[in-house]
Amino acid sequence: MAAAPDTDRRSARAEDAERIVIGAATYRLLFDNHPLPVWIYDRTTLRFLEVNDAAITTYGYTRDEFLEMTIDQIRPEEDLPKLLEHLQTLAEGQHAASRWRHRWKDGSIRIVDIISHTVTLHGRPAEIVVVRDITDLHNSDSGWRVFEERFRTAVEALPLPAMLYMQNGDVLVVNRLWTETTGYEREALRTLHDWTTLAYGPDAGVIRARIAELFEDRDRPQAEERSIRCADGSYRTWIFNSVPIASGPEEQSAMLTVATDMTDRVRWGEEITAQLEELRRWQRAMIDREERVMELKHEVNKLAADLGRPSPYPEVEA
């Protein structure tokens, strides 16, 4: 009877191993047969590790060609600085959605939306990427442009800094108060990646992850206070109020963020705090001074007593 627990443990290990094998096979099946291009690349070397059949068909490269390439080789040269900057912000387990330009094997440049997730594969940092070609939609007179125009007038008329952007990271509208207050030109704020990089520097990745969470929690408006860096190097304190407003082309979500500038109030509060602290220092100094004066008077009285003379400060005698 004593062998039963060992048998049970061996059976449990066998079941676990079977589940792992089945899970791996299922994942492989889903990866290979996904209708959209999917690949996995090494985040250290940027080399493609796996590509599915849809990627081969869409991009025109053979599997062997893909596996000899790095992800920067399918992008226009002028986009590489932005790519490298983006890669530096990635964190383990992070989901991201963004828009890029990719080069097909025939040399054509296509506009794509990607959804990615960072993982660890065989002990190395990697990323799974799913790609959707939206070139035709992006270039049409309907779709994005119609959606953008629908809200442009309303956003421009808001009496506070305001930005309208899509879940894929495209910034559709930035009003005049936003650009005037921050000093950034509209052309520099085409995507959330552009804005967060300029305004938050090394914390940009954290902010982008937080914005992604806002799109997941669409049931209520969100208000958050953050410090932003302006074009002249100064910093301002804004309270961001974000609310989902509609779905755009291809059912992508849109978010409107309106900012309230709290910089002057924060500075005023800081000045009041500094003044109160100065008063406290002065108060402590006065108390210390009075205590020292009392000590000196006691010493003078003691010296007078030693000389047989009356105390010059009888009020301190106790």
Per-residue model confidence as pLDDT tens digits over 14-55: 454 444 444 455 556 678 888 889 999 999 999 999 999 999
CATH topology of domain 34-137: Beta-Lactamase (3.30.450)
The CATH code of domain 140-261 reads 3.30.450.20
Q: Give the strands of the sheet with 171-174, arranged side by side.
A: 171-174, 162-166, 253-261, 235-247, 222-229
Could you give the CA distance from residue 178 to residue 175 in angstroms, rounded to a whole number?
6
**What is the per-residue pLDDT for 214?**
83
116-128: average pLDDT: 86
89-109: average pLDDT: 80
- Which parts of the chain are beta strand (E)? 38-42, 48-51, 95-103, 109-121, 124-133, 162-166, 171-174, 222-229, 235-247, 253-261
Could you give the CA distance from residue 232 to residue 235 in angstroms, rounded to a whole number?
9
Whether the pLDDT of residue 266 is over 70: the answer is no
**What is the per-residue pLDDT for 219?**
57
Do 173 and 186 contact (CB within 8 A), yes or no?
no
Residue that wins the pLDDT comparison between 147 and 127: 127
Residue that wins the pLDDT comparison between 317 and 59: 59
**What is the per-residue pLDDT for 21?**
44
Do 301 and 295 contact (CB within 8 A), yes or no?
no
